[in-house]
Structure 1
Amino acid sequence: MNLRVDSYLQISGARMSAVRLQDVAELAGVSMKTVSNVVRGYQHVSQSTRDRVQRAIDELDYRPNLMGRRLATGRTGLIALSFSNVAIPYFAELSRLVSAAANQMGYRVLLEETDGTLEGERAVLASFESGLVDGMLFQPAVVSSLEISRRRNSLPMVILGEAAAPLTLDRIMVDNFAAARDATNHLIRTGRRQIAFAGHESGRLSAASSQRIMGYQQALEDEGIPADPRLLFPRDTVTPMDAVIGVGAAVDAGIRFDGLVCRDDLAAIGALRALQERGISVPGDVALTGWDNIMMSRVTYPSITSVAPDTDALAHRATQMLIERIEGWEGAGRHELVDHRLVLRESAPTHA
């Protein structure tokens, strides 16, 4: 153990299991308010001060006392993260990042799944009344912006994703239009001219699918390539097997294409199998891109070129905005974008 910390603990009588905010402040040589600001991720703390406080937190193994805070403030120390299905790899990875960000800011996360249904999303909104959580990060799929406004009570909420959000609520998302255009442009630059889109819903399009298809179409039109509706390959459910079926059916029907933009990495994995089963080489005959940059995209053969949203920034900023609301910030809704990049791998390398 660091001698300074050991000496400090002996003098104060503190132990790692019962370290107080005051202990961290004394070791770091700052006020308790500054420690609180660092724990909650506030931006207006100098980097040198933030580093000093973080070293003290790490050395003392400080953990915020959530029960004490609830007694003092009436808050639970819990926030909810609600989305359609934790089995979808993107949401599993997002959950891990949100949990890490919340823990860093002194909160714990409760996961709620909606199955992407109107009934499930309404149930989540109704659960606000239980008082179990202090606020919610919510990624709606089907419930309308107006209904969110009507059904939520006064508890804070931050909207994730592309669905329309009330102007009074904070929202953070990726620019799906621009990202899809970037992915399509990459395929065009490698010489692909008959580019398909796969993996969107066969019924009502989600906001994300709609924006990604529009970005794909815009890239084609910018290059004078006609947008052909026959080159849209939907699927019934968000599984790789449905993408196998959808892309395979298109190939079996005689539809030819040399590039494929997939709505997400699960669709890309399914498309890859469908093409390989039919002796179609990737990327030789067809170059394809995925979306979300999930861990599986790195280990398929070939590995999958994928749109990578900055999920670290999304998780941290969304959690930060929610906690600011919980702690009394009352400004107008903030609608923010996080960056994205295209991670190039074997399925669509730089050169054709």
Structure 2
Amino acid sequence: MRTVRLVDVAERAGVSIKTVSNVVHDHPYVRAELRARVQAAIDELGYRPNLSARRLVTGRTGTILVAVTSIDVPYFGDLCQRLDRAVRNVGMQIVIEQTYATRESESAVLDQRERGLVDGVIFHSVTLSAEELAAHRLGLPVVLLGEAPAPAGVDHVKMDNVAAAAEATASLLAAGRRRVAFLGHERRGLSHTTGQRLTGYKQAIKAAGMSLDRRLYLRVDDYSPESGRRAVKDAIERGIGFDAIMCRDDLLALGALHALADLGRAVPEEVAVIGWDDLSIAAHLTPPLSSIAPDKDALAGQATRLLMERLNGYHGPGRHELVPYRLIERASSAATDSTVRGRDAAGSDPR
């Protein structure tokens, strides 16, 4: 089938090639009637702009690189979909690179292995420090996502993990829970994300006038449901008592629910559970899972806006922006008669 050319669209619409070019490149000085006529011809003929030619005219590829750990992780898969929609809304497209949380892959993203193929990068780093990020000569605009510290000169969008973890933990304490475990303490060393969430958890425990118990930091090998299941089962079998679990993320919470069911521990009557990320499955678990819900649409939208401002000429200092979150309380963390009695018994401590 013959490729549809600019001249074919011009002939069908009864306008000049220059007018078609102006419509394709979204020049503002085209009458609405002409624009509609050209667009109708484009749609009818199935014309697709020549990207190489467009790049010569605009100096842009129309493509943004989104670099995340792995789209197998539900949070990142969901976030990439939202970024795709946000970027499409400004007339561009994304390509996705998975770094698998390796230093080499993350460094390669910033070393611009893709230079010349994309216009900018939206990057969720988990291994590089602020100093390492600053040391890279960024050849393209970059917006960082997530909890890793960002250099002062680089745009960064994240949520307040410390505040969210403190709020979730405080909600468990307010419901009468007195032994709140933290599920997600990595054996290989704390990530930036886990470190901030653990800090919020500790703040809430201390604010309630309670002492920290390191036995309640339930250690995991990774963030899979199976790792969460093993950690909770092992803690219970070792006689570590708790009546609530603050989970680093929903996948670990899923494993926690599994372990509690296997061991005959009722949720929330005996143990309350709160997850993180509010994955689509959370509301459909048994019982429905309470979870911290970051505003992922805001995260995608703000990252896209900051990157487009860089592409359109902003050269100022880095903007570091927070997106909102909500604690979605469902049945897995509901107060029960026994926890309410415990809450009302001033000074009671089941330890």
Q: Could you state the TM-score of these two structures normalised by the residue count of structure 2?
A: 0.83
Do the aligned partners of 1:69 and 1:77 also contact (CA within 8 Å) in 2?
A: no
Within a 5 Å distance, the mapping from 1:66-77 to structure 2 comes to: 67=51, 69-77=54-62
Structure 1 CA distance for aligned equivalents of residues 93 and 14 of structure 2:
28
Do the aligned partners of 1:293 and 1:306 also contact (CA within 8 Å) in 2?
A: yes
User: Once superposed, what is the RMSD of the aligned Cα atoms?
Assistant: 2.9
Q: Any unmatched runs of 5+ in structure 1?
A: 1-10, 33-55
**Map of 2:4 onto structure 1:** none
Structure 2 SS opposite 1:136: strand
Do the aligned partners of 1:84 and 1:113 also contact (CA within 8 Å) in 2?
A: yes
**Map of 1:220 onto structure 2:** 205
Do the aligned partners of 1:170 and 1:335 also contact (CA within 8 Å) in 2?
A: yes
Structure 1 SS opposite 2:228: helix
Do the aligned partners of 1:180 and 1:212 also contact (CA within 8 Å) in 2?
A: yes
The residue identity in structure 2 corresponding to 1:193 is R
Give how far 1:296 is off: 1.4
Give how far 1:350 is off: 5.6
Structure 2 SS opposite 1:209: helix
Structure 2 SS opposite 1:284: coil
Structure 1 residues 224 and 98, CA, compared in 2 at 3 Å: closer, same or farther?
same
The residue identity in structure 1 corresponding to 2:305 is Q
Asked whether 1:176 is paired with 2:161, we answer yes
Structure 1 residues 299 and 103, CA, compared in 2 at 3 Å: closer, same or farther?
same
Structure 2 SS opposite 1:290: strand
Structure 2 SS opposite 1:130: coil
The residue identity in structure 2 corresponding to 1:96 is Q
Give how far 1:13 is off: 5.9
**Map of 2:225 onto structure 1:** 240
Structure 2 CA distance for aligned equivalents of residues 183 and 244 of structure 1:
21
Match of 2:125 among 134, 137, 140: 140
| Cα-to-partner distance string for 1:262-306 (whole Å, 9 max, x where unaligned) | 000001000110111000011110011000001111211111000
Asked whether 1:157 is paired with 2:138, we answer no
Do the aligned partners of 1:79 and 1:110 also contact (CA within 8 Å) in 2?
A: yes
Structure 1 CA distance for aligned equivalents of residues 133 and 330 of structure 2:
40
Structure 1 SS opposite 2:242: coil
How many residue pairs match? The answer is: 315
Asked whether 1:291 is paired with 2:276, we answer yes
Asked whether 1:210 is paired with 2:188, we answer no
The residue identity in structure 2 corresponding to 1:318 is A
Match of 2:181 among 189, 193, 196: 196
Match of 2:256 among 265, 271, 275: 271
Q: Any unmatched runs of 5+ in structure 2?
A: 1-11, 340-351
Bigger radius of gyration among the two:
2
Structure 1 CA distance for aligned equivalents of residues 14 and 286 of structure 2:
57
Deviates further, 207-216 or 124-133: 124-133
Do the aligned partners of 2:176 and 2:335 also contact (CA within 8 Å) in 1?
A: no
The residue identity in structure 1 corresponding to 2:163 is A
**Map of 1:282 onto structure 2:** 267
Give how far 1:200 is off: 3.1
Q: Could you state the TM-score of these two structures normalised by the residue count of structure 1?
A: 0.82
The residue identity in structure 2 corresponding to 1:332 is P
Give how far 1:78 is off: 0.7
Do the aligned partners of 1:76 and 1:134 also contact (CA within 8 Å) in 2?
A: yes
**Map of 1:343 onto structure 2:** 328
Give how far 1:328 is off: 1.6
Give how far 1:247 is off: 1.1
Asked whether 1:80 is paired with 2:30, we answer no
Deviates further, 117-126 or 239-248: 117-126
| Percent identity of equivalent pairs | 41
Structure 2 CA distance for aligned equivalents of residues 64 and 320 of structure 1:
26
Structure 2 SS opposite 1:143: coil
Structure 2 SS opposite 1:80: strand
